[in-house]
Amino acid sequence: MNAPVPPSSAERAEKLQGMGCKRKRVEDVRFTQGRGNYVDDIKLPGMLHGDFHRSSHAHARIKSIDTSKAKAVPGVVAVLTAEELKGVNLAWMPTLAGDVQMVLADGKVLFQNQEIAFVIATDRYIAADAADLIEVEYEPLPVLVDPFKAMEADAPVLREDLAGKTTGAHGPRKHHNHIFNWSVGDKDLTDAAFVKAEVSTKDLIYYHRVHPCPLETCQTICSFDKITGDLTIYGTFQAPHVIRTVVALISSIPEHKIHVISPDIGGGFGNKVGAYPGYICAAVASIVTGKPVKWVEDRMENLSTTSFARDYHMTAEIAATKEGRVTGLRVHILADHGAFDACADPSKWPAGFSNIVTGSYDFPVAHLSVDGVYTNKAPGGVAYRCSFRVTEVAYCIERAMDIMAQKLGMDPVDFRMKNFIKREQFPYQSALGWEYDSGDYHMAMEKALGVVDYKKLREEQKAKQEAFRRGETRDLMGIGVSFFTEIVGAGPSKNCDILGIAMFDSAEIRIHPTGRVLARMGSKSQGQGHETTWAQIIATEIGIPADDIHIEEGNTDTAPYGLGTYGSRSTPVAGAAIAMAARKIKAKAQMIAAFMLEVHEGDLEFDVDRFRVKGNPEAFKTMSQLAWAAYNRVPPGMEPGLEAVSYYDPPNMTYPFGAYICVMDIDVDTGTHKVRRFYALDDCGTRINPMIIEGQVHGGCTEGYAIAMGQEIIYDEMGNVKGASLMDFFLPTAVETPHWETDYTVTPSPHHPIGAKGVGESPNVGSVPAFSNAVNDAFKFLGSTHITMPHDAYRTWQVAAKLGLHA
Amino acid sequence: MTKVSMVVNGNAVSADVESRTLLIHYLREHLNITGPHIGCETSHCGACTVDLDGKSVKSCTVFAVQAQGSDVLTIEGMAAPDGKLHVLQEAFREMHGLQCGYCTPGMITRAYRLLKENPSPTEAEIRMGISGNLCRCTGYQNIVKAIQYAASKINGVEYKEAAE
């Protein structure tokens, strides 16, 4: 009988389920059985329930609040108003953007549904009943919903608390409703480029107000132990450690007595980064009552109060030569921040990374200026599945490039190709201050064009346009192209912090004696599948099967400090920390192996799951053997154990990119559309789990589809929010959602330990301009230049009507 | 308070609740059956979908008293008594038909009834059949595949396409 053939390196590598394979998700075992553990699933003994009474007015002075009827309801334990919160100095709270925000209305209300009183009761039905019985007497004030009008000289003063403050957190305020101006780039050189420009365009491109709307709303349970002084907070937090530090800073509770736990989270998309009044009220209520207090917002509260996204009025100008070479970019943004500046950006970036507005193009000069303005709308300004303000400006430049191509009479793809940053220009210094790490835009664009047969599509479109003119069809065909460059992975400590804490991330890996692994991170999955993919990185790095690696996140008592999961930062930052921690373990294992095999470390080589002696592959120690040895047979002088921690401060951001193409047919008589084809090519560098990447692209494109084609939080002139239920706020069902085709190229990040760039948010960033460009492309042969989003059927019908197509 | 009794996942249960108590709260708060979730309380999202006497219902818009004497199936009752997962539960994992997992219990419970009503649905019929259940993560494409995969398994035919 022959001796069994030992498994080859490739066979052993396959068993690890490491990077690059379509590993099935670990999380799904519990989720498919209804055994997820979300905040509202948690019940603590004696738990009370909180609910808000909210403002019916968008701007009004509060003359009186009568809580007596609410307090008289059996089961009501307490009612909090601003007066009670003033006793603990929490009527107002600091925002992540350096502003302050009312926790409960203090003297006036500034947006509809603003929190006025918090009722605590033994049952959620009783809390809701009692909240309805609170009586508030208002003196209505003039309402501002238009940020342009908010900046007029005689506009009503919204933030009376800021009276006389001519300087805000980000420099001078030039008007009583002004928050900040943020400018970047060389203004004089840019202005000069426009003076000399052979061709220029100038367009107001509005990215409307939307909301991330995860299926699970924001919620918390706060439990204060009066004996020990410990405050335990369960919550839907994308950044649990940041929440812990914020609570420590604004309360008298020391940080080690605060325990923040993010259990399973039902989607975040940026909604669950910030700190909201509900969290503060639940914590204060628990301290006051000595009982755990749960607060769960309903869908209308979610859509109308806890964070909006976008609402950017962008005026974009491009200068170019007649031959189609761009020579300058000038952008001004009027940013509607609502009643308080509660943007969740890194602290020094009041307009996020909007200076990525030069996109994928080699602009020799550029200038960007952003003015933030207060209005009577809900506060927020979160990064809805995008890095900070990146999707706004990606939309801006991708629309502006199409408009310029139209003016030049060039095909939008030819115009882009002519102006792309070339492969050999990386690392590329942009005119607005970024260093793009790597890219091959021409290759990605050409691959996309080949797959969809772009030339043939344009020929078909031309034939259809002629048929339309002859009256043979009422359908218009649009081809939308978008080529986006993201900037993610915030970020390097030299320029990124939140409340003074550098935006590193962290990992701790413990190898148990039997070769099983426990690993904890400062990131927090909300559906991204970290329990699956983080184990894949470790598996490849140290050669222990992913199935033997348990990943834990979300408990601030056990996880190393991290800045959380948003802005596609988990793979670029926490993913790097994981690789670096794994490499520390590998280095120690190598020393143990050298000791056991009685060779010099340098005589060993790593082979998938073992160290072997170079030139003698029969002499090896597997990682499993080394794990055991780490606890009983380490070299003299070495500490026993096999654990490592890494805090990773990234040297640079990462710059994922992609080419998206949308083919759409529009019925001019009804304004309805049909997405015939949607192709998404993403380059996110090294791919950890292709199945999860493609799932992320499907989901992000679906969100982008909703945003471009109908989703909107609208206010009427009285400040009434009109988009705050799922009856009004467009979330596509399986019927409307197009079919997604995914594709990829791989351009690794040169500075990331495993070359990964992050992907979760690219599809939201890239798809919105592809849809909008398709709608615009359909109408442009009739003289239309820019149509404002969202492109729902009624608006599109109106466009057709204005163009005289219904005559 | 009203005593409300029914059979949930094969077990006879009863609890004293207010007549206004919603079925979803009866399940989640009184019986600790937390698989079905609450996403909107306005019957749009379908996260609370359960099977009530052989029909899919959104349990946020049904009073518990309306389900008196009924037979209710939730995600917790989907696996066989010996613990073997329902083919739909396997299919959703196999085809990557979920991400955050919040819509999943309602989605699988709805798909279970859909396949009872129509054992061999077309893609369009699946999309229409789950249009009362919203998902914010997946874009539905792999959910559709999971349901096609499960239908193939139930019908004993081969399913060829892999998860994207």
Q: Which domain holds residue A458?
A: 309-490+653-802
Please tell me the total count of domains within chain A. Answer: 3
Strand runs labelled E in A598-649: 604-607, 610-613, 616-622, 643-648
Nearest C-alpha neighbor of A378 from the set A454, A271, A246: A271
pLDDT at A719 over 80: yes
Residues A289 and A356 in one domain: no
Angle between helices B141-155 and A690-709 (to 10 degrees): 120
Q: Would you call B39 an interface residue with chain A, using a CB distance cutoff of 8 Å?
A: yes
Percentage, residues of chain A above pLDDT 90:
97
| Residue contact A215–B37, C-beta within 8 A | yes
Residues A484 and A527 in one domain: no
Interface test with A, best of B16, B26, B27, B40 (most A CBs within 10 A): B40
End-to-end CA distance of chain B: 51
Provide the H-helix boundaries in A422-529. 441-452, 454-469
| Residue contact B138–A695, C-beta within 8 A | yes
Domain extent listing, chain B: 2-75, 87-155
The DSSP letter of residue A511 is E
- The active-site residue, picked from A222, A281, A343, A386, is A386
What tens digit of pLDDT does each residue of B27-61 get? 999 999 999 999 999 999 999 999 999 999 999 99
Question: Quick check: is A114 catalytic?
Answer: no
**Which of residues 91 through 120 in chain B touch A, CB cutoff 8 A?**
92-94, 96, 98-105, 108
- In chain B, residues with a C-beta closer than 8 Å to the C-beta of A40 are 28, 34, 37-38
Measure CA A540 to chain center.
28
The DSSP letter of residue B96 is T
Q: Hey, how many other C-beta atoms are within 10 angstroms of the C-beta on A500?
A: 8
Q: Hey, how many other C-beta atoms are within 10 angstroms of the C-beta on A676?
A: 16
What tens digit of pLDDT does each residue of B86-116 get? 999 999 999 999 999 999 999 999 999 999 9
Tokens found for residue A521: 């991170």
pLDDT at B164: 47
> What's the CA gap between A135 and A126, in Å, rounded?
17
Could you say which of A621, A648, A675 is where a domain stops? A648
User: Closest partner residue to A733 among B37, B47, B131, by Cβ?
Assistant: B131
What tens digit of pLDDT does each residue of A591-628 get? 999 999 999 999 999 999 999 999 999 999 999 999 99
Could you tell me the CA-to-CA distances from A138 to A109, A110, A375, A761, A768 in Å, in that order?
9, 12, 19, 42, 41
User: Closest partner residue to A216 among B37, B144, B164, by Cβ?
Assistant: B37
> What's the CA gap between A92 and A102, in Å, rounded?
4
Does a structural domain hold residue A192? no
Q: Would you call A299 an interface residue with chain B, using a CB distance cutoff of 8 Å?
A: yes
Does a structural domain hold residue A796? yes
User: Given strand A610-613, what is the order of strands in its sheet?
Assistant: A604-607, A610-613, A616-622
For all residues of chain A together, what is the average pLDDT? 97
pLDDT at A679 over 60: yes
pTM for this predicted structure: 0.97
Residues A366 and A468 in one domain: yes
Residues A659 and A640 in one domain: no
| Residue contact A734–B126, C-beta within 8 A | yes
Does a structural domain hold residue A411? yes
- In chain A, residues with a C-beta closer than 8 Å to the C-beta of B138 are 695, 698-699, 702
Shortest CA distance from B144: residue in chain A: A734
Residue with structure tokens 């005593």? B3
Q: How far is A726 from chain B (nearest CA, A)?
A: 6
Tokens found for residue A717: 């002139």
Tokens found for residue A667: 């019925």
| Residue contact A726–B44, C-beta within 8 A | yes
Shortest CA distance from A528: residue in chain B: B99
Residues A630 and A537 in one domain: yes
Q: Would you call B49 an interface residue with chain A, using a CB distance cutoff of 8 Å?
A: no
Residues A352 and A442 in one domain: yes
Nearest C-alpha neighbor of A343 from the set A331, A335, A355, A334: A335
Helix (H) or strand (E) holding B93: helix B87-94
Residues A416 and A359 in one domain: yes
CATH code: domain of residue A366: 3.30.365.10
> What's the CA gap between A460 and A260, in Å, rounded?
57
| Residue contact A34–B137, C-beta within 8 A | no
Tokens found for residue B23: 């079925």
User: Given strand A505-511, what is the order of strands in its sheet?
Assistant: A549-553, A517-521, A505-511, A643-648
pLDDT at A723: 85
Residues A436 and A572 in one domain: no
Residues A337 and A457 in one domain: yes
State ipTM: 0.98
Helix, strand, or coil (residue B118): coil
| Residue contact B99–A528, C-beta within 8 A | yes
Three-state helix/strand/coil letters over A195-264:
HHCCEEEEEEEEEEEECCCCCCCCEEEEEEECCCCEEEEEECCCCHHHHHHHHHHHCCCCHHHEEEECCE
Three-state helix/strand/coil letters over A664-691:
EEEECCCCCEEEEEEEEEEECECCCCHH
Helix (H) or strand (E) holding A303: helix A299-304
Helix, strand, or coil (residue A706): helix
Q: Is the dihedral of CA B122, A660, A805, A203 positive or negative?
A: positive
| Residue contact B139–A25, C-beta within 8 A | no
User: Closest partner residue to A735 among B75, B128, B143, by Cβ?
Assistant: B128
Q: Hey, how many other C-beta atoms are within 10 angstroms of the C-beta on A100?
A: 17
* Chains A–B, number of C-beta pairs less than 8 Å apart: 183
| β-pair type (A92-94, A505-511) | unpaired
Question: Quick check: is A761 catalytic?
Answer: yes
Q: In the structure, what pLDDT confidence band is assigned to residue A1 with cuts at 50, 70 and 90?
A: low
| Residue contact A734–B140, C-beta within 8 A | yes
Does a structural domain hold residue A246? yes
Q: How far is B142 from chain A (nearest CA, A)?
A: 8
Does a structural domain hold residue A159? no
Q: Do A500 and A347 form a contact (C-beta atoms < 8 A)?
A: yes
Question: Quick check: is A386 catalytic?
Answer: yes
**Section A278-304 average pLDDT:** 97
Nearest C-alpha neighbor of A535 from the set A554, A549, A521: A549
| β-pair type (A517-521, A549-553) | parallel
Q: Do A420 and A441 form a contact (C-beta atoms < 8 A)?
A: yes
Helix, strand, or coil (residue B52): strand
Question: Quick check: is A696 catalytic?
Answer: no
**Region of residue A500 (left: phi > 0; alpha: psi -120 to 50; beta: else):** left
Residues A631-663 as b/e (b if ≥16 CB within 10 A, e otherwise) read eeebeeeeeeebbbebbbbbebbbbbbbbbbbb
The DSSP letter of residue B47 is T
Interface test with B, best of A33, A701, A736 (most B CBs within 10 A): A33
pLDDT at A787 over 90: yes
* CATH 2.40.10.220 matches B87-155: no
- Measured at the CA of A593, the angle between CA A589 and CA A599, to 5 degrees, comes to 140
Does a structural domain hold residue A164? no
> What's the CA gap between A487 and A359, in Å, rounded?
10
Does a structural domain hold residue A153? no
Q: Would you call B15 an interface residue with chain A, using a CB distance cutoff of 8 Å?
A: no
Measure CA A89 to chain center.
31
- The active-site residue, picked from A173, A244, A310, A385, is A385
Nearest C-alpha neighbor of B65 from the set B113, B29, B105, B25: B25
Q: Do B144 and B126 form a contact (C-beta atoms < 8 A)?
A: yes
**Region of residue B142 (left: phi > 0; alpha: psi -120 to 50; beta: else):** alpha
Tokens found for residue A338: 């609502």
Max CA distance (Å), chain B = 54
Residues A659 and A797 in one domain: yes
> What's the CA gap between A50 and A123, in Å, rounded?
9
User: Given strand A673-683, what is the order of strands in its sheet?
Assistant: A475-485, A657-667, A673-683, A741-744
Residues A346 and A459 in one domain: yes
Q: How far is B47 from chain A (nearest CA, A)?
A: 8
Three-state helix/strand/coil letters over A411-444:
CHHHHHHHHECCHHHCCEECCCCCEECCCCHHHH
The DSSP letter of residue A528 is S
Q: Hey, how many other C-beta atoms are within 10 angstroms of the C-beta on A804?
A: 9
Helix, strand, or coil (residue A399): helix
pLDDT at A350 over 90: yes
What tens digit of pLDDT does each residue of B58-89 get? 999 999 999 999 999 999 999 999 999 999 99
Measure CA A775 to chain center.
26
Q: Do A795 and A673 form a contact (C-beta atoms < 8 A)?
A: no
pLDDT at A765: 98
Phi/psi at A725 (5° precision)? -140, 165
| β-pair type (A309-320, A326-336) | antiparallel
pLDDT at A236 over 90: yes
Could you tell me the CA-to-CA distances from A597 to A603, A621, A673 in Å, in that order?
10, 8, 69
Q: Is the dihedral of CA B31, B36, B40, B43 positive or negative?
A: negative
Strand partners, A366: A329
> What's the CA gap between A382 and A388, in Å, rounded?
7
Residues A539 and A642 in one domain: yes
Per CATH, the number for B2-75 is 3.10.20.30
**Section A457-484 average pLDDT:** 98
Q: Do A301 and A111 form a contact (C-beta atoms < 8 A)?
A: no
pLDDT at B163 over 50: no
pLDDT at A567: 87
Q: Would you call A683 an interface residue with chain B, using a CB distance cutoff of 8 Å?
A: no
- The active-site residue, picked from A101, A219, A238, A526, is A238
The DSSP letter of residue A638 is P
- For chain A, give the number of residues: 807
End-to-end CA distance of chain A: 89
Does a structural domain hold residue A5? no
pLDDT at A4: 82
Q: In the structure, what pLDDT confidence band is assigned to residue A3 with cuts at 50, 70 and 90?
A: confident
Shortest CA distance from A41: residue in chain B: B34
Helix, strand, or coil (residue A624): helix
